[in-house]
Structure 1
Amino acid sequence: MNIPDRLSRLFDRRTQGIALAVALFGGALSSTAIAQGSNAPQALTNAGEVKGKLAQVDGVTLREFQGIPFAAPPVGKKRWQPPQPVEAWNGVRDASRFAARCMQLPLASDMVFRSNGMSEDCLYLNVWTPASAANAKLPVLVYFYGGGFQCGDGSEKRYDGASLAAKGVVTVTVNYRLGVFGFLALPALAAESPHHAAGNYGLLDQAAALRWVQSNIAQFGGDPSKITIGGESAGSISVNSLMASPLSKGRIAGAIGESGALINPISPHPLKQMQQNGTLFVKKAGADSLAALRAMSAEKLLQAAADKDSPDFGPDIDGYFLTESPEATFERGAQAHVPLLLGANSQEGFWSRLLDNQPPTPANYRKTLQRVFGAQAEQALTLYPGHTEDEVKSSGTALSGDGFIAHTTWRWMDLHRRTGSSPVYFYYFDRPRPLKRDDKPGASVDAGAVHSGEIEYALGNLDTNLVYAWTPADHETSRVMEGYFAQFIKTGNPNGAKLPMWAAVKDADGGLLRQTIDAHSRTEVDRGAARQAFLQKIFAAGPPPF
């Protein structure tokens, strides 16, 4: 199954009941605006001066800069080119509002944007930093959004950097090209590339943003030698890729991955295959050359890519950003040797999807696993047992989540702890979201933490999401998880004052240590190695069977 399909499988579940978010989400403020006048903060970048705005959160005055260009607009002949340097400007450029989001279809209604419309001209980033940090050399987080490489934006409220900035972390969110604009590969594109590469333009955008941060972040109070990269879902897959890429692995001091890695069954495609897909797309779009394709409007390209018969667009082994699969890079220990904090959620998938909405009876579960695994069904039933309806729900949810994205995350953890020469901190996020504010009495909640459900907790942004009736237990979970993130970004170790102890991954009691994060976070033993070894063999044999 391709990356966009795998990451969009849960969008329908994630967006149930989110209509209220569209009405309320964008109006929530995580910080209090301060009258600007002549006090508006300014910073000097390599291309020119920018002017942001002041805000206050948790009693800390922040400087916020939004819509700073880190590359030239990828339009015209620059469409499907690696990002080019920004042209210098005269005077002071306004950086007090978010720029446009990259071209995308409205695939997930839980993504509520603050961006200034949508455009191909979208290679901008945003910086939150303490006002007192002019020369402080604070640690830096560069965060990449999720969305299956098809949608998302650095302006999303759940990615707001104000809370982490108030805790002493210079926080940066980055836009990168998506879908056909970010991942089209063609023989003609490879022919014009000095590296004979094609595709991966969205990932090259991320690498360019990292270069920009390294060159400019000192002007915002950040330390260019202490850059941690982080992201969720496609953003986490990006972090895994950036750790492996020769273009970026030397620029980072730490990495955070929330649910996902570019590791089988979410693997980069061979360049040749993606060029074939691209050639098919050119024909479907009605173009007869690369020049004709570049002359098409962005809107027409977006609609052509939305056709149900359109080929897939995602990362490939282009020979430039990726010279091999990240899995191979990590296996031979050639990735960035930096501390890694990563994990997945307790309900990344759901038993009903695995059973195709059939009742969760042991008979239906056995029948499903026999269909999915064939001769390996009995082994699957041993590892994911289903003798009762409750066990079917539990095992079916675990298997669905592993097959979707948790297995890739586990493999990333295991590879880096074996070859990375740096500590690894592995989490299992198990805090279900509470009732929605408009739920009627007696409404049910998810049994576990759904895909993407940890973002607001981890980045300290619960109060920006007015959909859910957050409880004191939710705020305690967020305090702890954001505290772990902040400490890790600062020191490469998530432990700190008033935080439950989190042990690095190591063998213990027949398993591996990991941190369960919920209202009562604690270190436990993960005994899933046999499950993951089984799935690794299944996925190595061919396309994922479920």
Structure 2
Amino acid sequence: MRTSLFALTLLLAGTAQAQEVRTDRGTLRGATAEGVASFKGIPYAAAPVGPLRWHAPMPVPGWTGTRDATGYGNDCVQARMPGDLANTTLPMSEDCLFLNVWTPRPRAGAKLAVMVYIHGGGFSTGSGSAAILDGSRLAARGVVVVTFNYRLGRFGFFATPALTREAGGGPTGNWALMDQLAALQWVKRNIASFGGDPANVTIFGESAGGESVSRLMVSPAAKGLFAKAIAASGGGRDSWPDLAAGEAKGLAFAKRAGAEDLAALRALPADKVQGGINLLNGDEAHYSGPMTDGRIVTGDTDALLAAGKARGIRYVVGSNSDELGFIPAPFLKGFVAKATEKLGAAADAVRTAYGSAEAYARHIPSDYTFTEPAFSLAGRQAAHGPTWLYRFGYVAEAKRATLAGASHATDVPYQFDNLAAAGGKPSPADMAAARLVADHWAAFAKTGDPGWARFDPGAQMLVISNNGSAAAPAGTPEIMAIAAARDAAKQK
């Protein structure tokens, strides 16, 4: 009798591990572990290959039977950066438009808050399937978590006059942003089947993903696809080149590749299109990156936020305390020179605000690129919707001897409460910091309030440091000086 009961228990436990959900294209079978169901490698758009290379995302063909969703799909083609925690060992392919879902209640009608993550990587590297982005621990807080891939590098951003004509007045060039929109549209159509509430979607992302978040907030193409947004280390004060500039670089690439028409361009081998583009190789003569295309991206984020184009969207925005501090001093000089050139005549006033030339040289690269943009975007959106500003400065205890502050992307495993996937052995204090950040993010998704005071005329923000979290003034003299210089330059 005991043997039969034991066998029955094993059978029921095994059954509990499998989970099926019906989407608009067919049925998926996922897996359950520790109370959270996961569904991986779900195609949200047709493979962008052959005639669909450099084409708006097309619908996925439906399937009969049950599709296995226990393994990740391909990564998008890229030149991976050595040592990047966002790397995977998954195959790379142009057939890469897959998403992943984690949910604690995989049933229709649960109406859980939904969190959709947009990965970083400079729009040229990265994956929604990286180990540090496993959504299990975040989903265990009572939210549905979605991650996804989007086309990268020259596959994701490429324009020519022929492509513009082919688009027939529709969006062109920013294929990666079209992928992001397609993933959000998939969420709107399907997430209720996984227990999510399509009317309560938060998008969040870091670096290029954070910039994507802010760009989508002000994009007419994204209207109605989400209600809340978290932009981490996304900059946002820069101007993207216009479509004509993108077309010129596209033509330069086509000439170099010896491809005279769209058919020839679409027949090029993937590695020739990719061309080694990553954060260290921008191929600037032949690659535009993201563009102000006039359809999805209609202008600069800061100006559009100030004009109320994201009215009503609840917004959390922030940066890390020492974004570029990991760059060796000799290499940092180039970043200092670039920021100084952009500040122009105001550089002396900004240098004075820092109090010394040494402090200016140490901090201006990070502050110009990330800290001041977060402050300024918060100020613009605060006039049109509830807004919160933060600064993440926690450094893992094992790294405090070598890092003076939180460098770029070190916050991502904390957002997912996923330090074990980041390597090393996290200390109890490290794990407590991760719980704190993930709790704030999940609370914002569920309630619309992350749990600290809103950004106000006094420019208050939350600082998460090695000593815990506390309110602090955001408008420090150096940040105010950078903001004043950039505002004045924009008005010219």
Q: Tell me the residue number matched to 1:470.
A: 426
Is 1:214 the counterpart of 2:188 in the alignment?
A: yes
**Counterpart amino acid of 2:460?**
L
Alignment of 1:41-440 (within 5 A): 41-56=19-34, 61-114=35-88, 116-131=90-105, 134-264=108-238, 267-303=239-275, 308=283, 310-350=285-325, 356=331, 375-386=345-356, 392=358, 394-418=359-383, 420=384, 422-435=385-398
Does the 8 Å CA contact 1:229/1:256 hold for their aligned counterparts? yes
Residue of 491, 505, 513 corresponding to 2:460: 513
For residues 458 and 120 of structure 1, what CA distance do their matches in structure 2 show?
A: 29
Partner secondary structure for residue 398 of structure 2:
coil
**Counterpart amino acid of 1:118?**
M
For residues 297 and 190 of structure 2, what CA distance do their matches in structure 1 show?
A: 25
Does the 8 Å CA contact 2:21/2:106 hold for their aligned counterparts? no
**1:408-431 deviation per Cα after TM superposition (whole angstroms, max 9, x unaligned):** 22222111112x2x2111001111
For residues 415 and 114 of structure 2, what CA distance do their matches in structure 1 show?
A: 16
Please give the root-mean-square deviation of Cα atoms over the aligned residues, in Å.
2.6
Question: C-alpha displacement at 1:149, in angstroms?
Answer: 0.1
Name whichever of 475-484 and 312-321 sits farther off. 312-321
Partner secondary structure for residue 210 of structure 2:
helix
Question: C-alpha displacement at 1:324, in angstroms?
Answer: 2.6
Q: Tell me the residue number matched to 1:454.
A: 411
CA 1:375–1:116: 2 relative to 1, 3 Å: closer
Question: C-alpha displacement at 1:535, in angstroms?
Answer: 4.0
Question: C-alpha displacement at 1:355, in angstroms?
Answer: 6.5
Is 1:494 the counterpart of 2:441 in the alignment?
A: no
Name whichever of 86-95 and 328-337 sits farther off. 328-337
How many residues are aligned here?
A: 473
Does the 8 Å CA contact 1:104/1:150 hold for their aligned counterparts? yes
CA 1:460–1:309: 2 relative to 1, 3 Å: closer
Partner secondary structure for residue 340 of structure 1:
strand
CA 1:523–1:103: 2 relative to 1, 3 Å: same
**1:205-258 deviation per Cα after TM superposition (whole angstroms, max 9, x unaligned):** 000111100110000000010000000000001101111111113221100010
**Counterpart amino acid of 1:84?**
M
Partner secondary structure for residue 50 of structure 1:
strand
Question: C-alpha displacement at 1:35, in angstroms?
Answer: 6.6
Q: Tell me the residue number matched to 1:499.
A: none
**1:406-458 deviation per Cα after TM superposition (whole angstroms, max 9, x unaligned):** 2322222111112x2x211100111123326xxxxxx8320000011111112
CA 1:293–1:172: 2 relative to 1, 3 Å: same
CA 1:38–1:63: 2 relative to 1, 3 Å: closer
Residue of 476, 479, 482 corresponding to 2:438: 482
**1:47-96 deviation per Cα after TM superposition (whole angstroms, max 9, x unaligned):** 0111111111xxxx111000001100011111101101111111111111
For residues 384 and 351 of structure 1, what CA distance do their matches in structure 2 show?
A: 20
CA 1:354–1:199: 2 relative to 1, 3 Å: farther
Name whichever of 195-204 and 181-190 sits farther off. 195-204
Question: C-alpha displacement at 1:307, in angstroms?
Answer: 8.5
5+ long unaligned stretches in structure 1: 1-33, 359-364, 437-442, 496-501
For residues 329 and 488 of structure 2, what CA distance do their matches in structure 1 show?
A: 16
CA 1:231–1:36: 2 relative to 1, 3 Å: farther
Partner secondary structure for residue 269 of structure 1:
coil
Does the 8 Å CA contact 1:354/1:396 hold for their aligned counterparts? no
CA 1:83–1:262: 2 relative to 1, 3 Å: farther
Question: C-alpha displacement at 1:156, in angstroms?
Answer: 0.7
* TM-score normalised to structure 2 length: 0.89
Question: C-alpha displacement at 1:112, in angstroms?
Answer: 4.7
**Counterpart amino acid of 1:532?**
I
For residues 276 and 324 of structure 2, what CA distance do their matches in structure 1 show?
A: 30
Name whichever of 530-539 and 126-135 sits farther off. 530-539
For residues 459 and 535 of structure 1, what CA distance do their matches in structure 2 show?
A: 36
**1:122-167 deviation per Cα after TM superposition (whole angstroms, max 9, x unaligned):** 1110000014655311000000000000000011111111011111
Partner secondary structure for residue 198 of structure 2:
strand
Does the 8 Å CA contact 1:350/1:396 hold for their aligned counterparts? no
**Counterpart amino acid of 1:253?**
A
For residues 208 and 87 of structure 1, what CA distance do their matches in structure 2 show?
A: 15
**Counterpart amino acid of 1:504?**
R
% same residue? 37
Does the 8 Å CA contact 1:217/1:223 hold for their aligned counterparts? yes
For residues 194 and 211 of structure 2, what CA distance do their matches in structure 1 show?
A: 27
**Counterpart amino acid of 2:293?**
D
For residues 218 and 344 of structure 2, what CA distance do their matches in structure 1 show?
A: 35
CA 1:475–1:370: 2 relative to 1, 3 Å: closer
For residues 36 and 243 of structure 2, what CA distance do their matches in structure 1 show?
A: 44
**1:306-358 deviation per Cα after TM superposition (whole angstroms, max 9, x unaligned):** 68565233221212212333333212112252111110011012397676568
For residues 125 and 336 of structure 1, what CA distance do their matches in structure 2 show?
A: 28
Question: C-alpha displacement at 1:121, in angstroms?
Answer: 0.5
Q: Tell me the residue number matched to 1:530.
A: 480
Does the 8 Å CA contact 2:17/2:33 hold for their aligned counterparts? no
